[in-house]
Structure 1
Amino acid sequence: MRYFFHIGYSGTNYRGWQRHPYGVNVQATIEACLGKILRAPVAIVGCGRTDAGVHASQFFFHLDVAQPWEFDMLFRLNKVLPPDIAVFDIIPMEGLPHARFDANSRSYDYFIHTYKDPFLSDVSSLYLIRHLNLDHLKTATALLPFYKDFKNFCITPAAHESTLCHVTTAQWLASENGDRLRFQISANRFLSRMIRIIVGKLLQVGTGALSLDEFESYLATEHTPKILSPAFPQGLYLSKVTYPYLNLAPRSSSSGIGQPSIISGWQTV
Structure 2
Amino acid sequence: MPRYFIEVAYMGTRYSGFQVQQNGNTIQTEVSRALKIFFGQEFELTGSSRTDAGVHAKQNFFHFDADAEISNKAVYSLNAILPYDIVVKNIIEVKPEAHCRFDATSRTYHYYITRFKNPFYFNRAYYYPFKADINLLQELATSITTFNDFTSFSKKKTQVKTFRCHIEYSRWVFEDDIWRYEVKADRFLRGMVKGLAGTMLKLSKHDKTIADLSDIFEAQDPAAADFSVSPDGLFLMSVEFKNAIFHNLG
Q: If the length of structure 2 is used for normalisation, what is the TM-score? A: 0.91
- The alignment's C-alpha RMSD in Å is 2.0
Counterpart of 1:191 in structure 2 is 189
SS at the partner of 1:91? strand
In the alignment, residue 167 of structure 2 is paired with which amino acid? V
Question: Within 1, Cα distance between the matches of 2:143 and 2:211?
Answer: 11
SS at the partner of 1:219? helix
Counterpart of 1:137 in structure 2 is 137
Counterpart of 1:252 in structure 2 is none
Displacement after TM superposition at 1:22 (Å): 1.4
Displacement after TM superposition at 1:159 (Å): 2.0
Displacement after TM superposition at 1:246 (Å): 7.8
Q: Is structure 2 residue 72 aligned with structure 1 residue 74?
A: no
Q: 1:18, 1:27 within 8 Å by CA — same for their partners in 2?
A: yes
Counterpart of 1:8 in structure 2 is 9
Q: 1:12, 1:53 within 8 Å by CA — same for their partners in 2?
A: yes
Counterpart of 1:161 in structure 2 is 161
Q: Which runs of 5+ in 2 are unaligned?
A: 246-250
Counterpart of 2:217 in structure 1 is 219
Displacement after TM superposition at 1:119 (Å): 2.3
Q: Is structure 2 residue 129 aligned with structure 1 residue 128?
A: yes
Task: Tell which deviates more after alignment, 60-69 or 108-117.
Answer: 60-69
Task: Please give the residue correspondences for 1:1-269 in structure 2 after superposition, counting only pairs within 5 Å.
Answer: 1-69=2-70, 72-129=73-130, 131-156=131-156, 159-175=159-175, 177=176, 179-208=177-206, 210-221=208-219, 225-226=223-224, 228-245=226-243
Question: Within 2, Cα distance between the matches of 1:27 and 1:111?
Answer: 25
Displacement after TM superposition at 1:157 (Å): 6.1
SS at the partner of 1:142? helix
Task: Tell which deviates more after alignment, 211-220 or 18-27.
Answer: 211-220
Question: Within 1, Cα distance between the matches of 2:96 and 2:232?
Answer: 36
Q: 2:154, 2:192 within 8 Å by CA — same for their partners in 1?
A: yes
**CA 1:29–1:99: 2 relative to 1, 3 Å:** same
Q: 1:3, 1:93 within 8 Å by CA — same for their partners in 2?
A: yes
Question: Within 2, Cα distance between the matches of 1:204 and 1:246?
Answer: 42
Deviation string for 1:198-232 (max 9, x for gaps)?
A: 10110012212543211112223477744643321
Counterpart of 1:259 in structure 2 is none
In the alignment, residue 191 of structure 1 is paired with which amino acid? L
Question: Within 2, Cα distance between the matches of 1:70 and 1:222?
Answer: 47
In the alignment, residue 89 of structure 1 is paired with which amino acid? N
Question: Within 1, Cα distance between the matches of 2:5 and 2:178?
Answer: 35
Q: If the length of structure 1 is used for normalisation, what is the TM-score? A: 0.85
In the alignment, residue 122 of structure 1 is paired with which amino acid? N
Question: Within 1, Cα distance between the matches of 2:124 and 2:225?
Answer: 26
Overall identity of the aligned pairs, in %:
29
Counterpart of 2:248 in structure 1 is none
Q: 1:14, 1:53 within 8 Å by CA — same for their partners in 2?
A: yes
Q: 1:53, 1:234 within 8 Å by CA — same for their partners in 2?
A: yes
**CA 1:166–1:68: 2 relative to 1, 3 Å:** same
Displacement after TM superposition at 1:70 (Å): 6.3
Deviation string for 1:69-114 (max 9, x for gaps)?
A: 4683112111111111111111111222001111010000000001
SS at the partner of 2:97? coil
SS at the partner of 2:193? helix
Task: Tell which deviates more after alignment, 188-197 or 158-167.
Answer: 158-167
